[in-house]
Amino acid sequence: MMGTSMVGDITQFVVILAIMTGLVVVLGKWITHLFTSPAHNILERGTYRLLGVNPEEKMSWKRYGMVLVLSNAAMMLLGYLILRVQDFLPGDLLARAAQTPDLAFNTAASFTTNTNWQAYSGESSLSNFSQMAAITFLMSISATTGLAAAGGFMRGLSRKSTTDIGNYWVDFTRSLYRLLLPASFVMALVYVWQGMPQTLSADAVATTLEGVRQQIILGPVASFETIKHIGTNGGGFFGMNAAHPFENPTPLTNTLHMLSMLLIPSALTYAFGSMILRRRQGWTFFAAFLVMFLGFLTLIYSAEQAGNPLLTPMGVDQTQSATSGGGNMEGKEVRFGIAQTSMFATVTTAATTGSVNSMHSSLTPLGGLVPIAQMMLNNVFGGIGVGFINLITYAILTVFLVGMMIGRTPEFLGKKIEAREMKYVMLAILAHPLSILGFTAIACLMPSTLDSLSNMGPHGFSEVLYAYTSGTANNGSAFAGLNANTPFFNTTIGLAMLAGRYLTLLPMLAVAGVIAARKAVPEGPGTLSTATPLFAGLLVFIVIVVGGLTFLPALALGPIVEHLMMLTGATF
């Protein structure tokens, strides 16, 4: 029978997911309005005039993608320059040095691509100005870019016999002004109420009970945390990330962090169903997301509850809950315990946010497999905008495979899927593992990699594999234990971030453009309905099988073999 603590843990999971599901409808309706309303408010019209853009321009997918990439490149360059000249900028009483060229490239690429991987510790490396003008700014534009891309993508799938998928600048401006900024402002007020600092002061000096003077780093933390989670960004104002009491002071903020990460990725399913006038289709995709999420949550929670069997012969009882001292509590905050830690780790890698409230390197082998596997699949809710696009990638692959099995031209949303679209789909699918496995293989062949590892054996391999998986999936969380602040890792992980962002996003914009130009075909007796529980099951099956076949050998060398060694009592 389940213990009282386990029932309480499951109740927490159910409550959080129930709130998320309720918000799906509320926010989904607003996102639909955001992407379909023909009117522009005064602030938006002023922004268009300032930027010199025509909001009435109808963009093809090529034009849409080109504007997206070039604007991101310009903003990445701006962020890079700020980080490189930080020591020349006024206002930092702590006189923190500028970042090196390779670290600045890594950081700028990271926050532009919504990855937010940090090869540095925030409070010791960045001034408050850099935290706001470079990091928070890039977090805002990267999240807005992802949401705008989702708008163009969904619009393309909903249209017939047209060559345009909307206007990137309109989608970008509306996403920022009508959703991300207002939501972040309101959440920042809640966070300040809960005790997060929000100040331009660099530090405060306190005298401890022992009479020692202690320097406490401060800054605009609350505003940082809001866009960090609502925009599925990740990263940390402090090196300890969401385990730091200033970033995550209470159980309420911990819960709001998780809800914020799931907020927009989950609501996009409802918005999509509304835009294509097939509400059931949106719920089908939401169900696919939720099924995969629950499977991974169950795995990590059960693994962390079971603990490490190597400690049992030593008389350590790990069968009870974290509140009574059991389970694997290594690397976890006692105030969050196993349940909140497991939920947070699942959410942050499902929504590709990268915020952490524990050290993932200290998870059990199967517990550590969960965040790696979710990032490898990159289809469990996913990051803002791109996660939904990735799921559609596999949805198209699913109808293609089913169509081939029954000898019928595959159809998706009333459009025939032909060779051109499938080439783009396969490019998007293959770019992800090519980056992860390719860069991991190169790093494992580099003799200098050994100097960056804190562990040998399969756990050390997992550290390297996790780094490139996190970078390519634009997640940004770190397994911990790997010193990635070297020219080699900064450069290669930076390139992995760029590949993971644009080599998967741009081909799917092309798919949207091709489908938008195609005429609708009437459904026939052989048409596979994509708005049924059967299709949701097929979709999950294809995601798991394709991901498993692609990444299982790498996982076998890391967390799987580590788990088997643990069961046999072997250490390394």
> How confident is the model over 308-327, as pLDDT tens digits?
887 766 666 555 544 444 68
CA distance 241 to 359: 10
Closest CA to 143 of 261, 39, 33, 61: 261
Query: Is the CB of residue 175 less than 8 Å from the CB of residue 44?
Result: no
On average, the pLDDT of the chain sits at 90
Handedness of CA 264, 268, 270, 274 (dihedral sign): positive
Task: Return the number of other C-beta atoms located less than 10 Å from residue 524's C-beta.
Answer: 8
- Percent of the chain having pLDDT more than 90? 64
Please enumerate in sequence order all residues whose Cβ is within 8 A of that of 100, keeping only pairs 6 or more positions apart, or say none. none
The predicted pLDDT at position 47 comes to 94
Q: Which residue has the higher pLDDT, 522 or 61?
A: 61
The predicted model gives 200-229 an average pLDDT of 86
Q: Which residue has the higher pLDDT, 87 or 64?
A: 64
CA distance 32 to 86: 40
The predicted pLDDT at position 5 comes to 75
- Looking at residue 372, its amino acid is I
The predicted pLDDT at position 342 comes to 93
The predicted model gives 531-555 an average pLDDT of 92
Distances (CA, A) of 222 to 181, 252, 533: 13, 14, 41
Q: Which residue has the higher pLDDT, 525 or 341?
A: 341
> How confident is the model over 266-321, as pLDDT tens digits?
999 999 999 998 999 999 999 999 999 999 999 999 999 888 887 766 666 555 54
Helix (H) or strand (E) holding 457: helix 457-472
CA distance 20 to 258: 9
Kindly compute the dihedral angle of the four CA atoms of residues 556, 559, 562, 568, in this order, to the nearest 10 degrees.
-80
**Residue 92 in this model has a pLDDT that exceeds 90:** no
**Residue 1 in this model has a pLDDT that exceeds 80:** no
Running DSSP on this structure, what letter comes out for residue 557? I
**Residue 152 in this model has a pLDDT that exceeds 80:** yes
The predicted model gives 338-352 an average pLDDT of 93
**Residue 42 in this model has a pLDDT that exceeds 70:** yes
Distances (CA, A) of 102 to 71, 236, 484, 486: 22, 20, 11, 8
**Residue 452 in this model has a pLDDT that exceeds 50:** yes
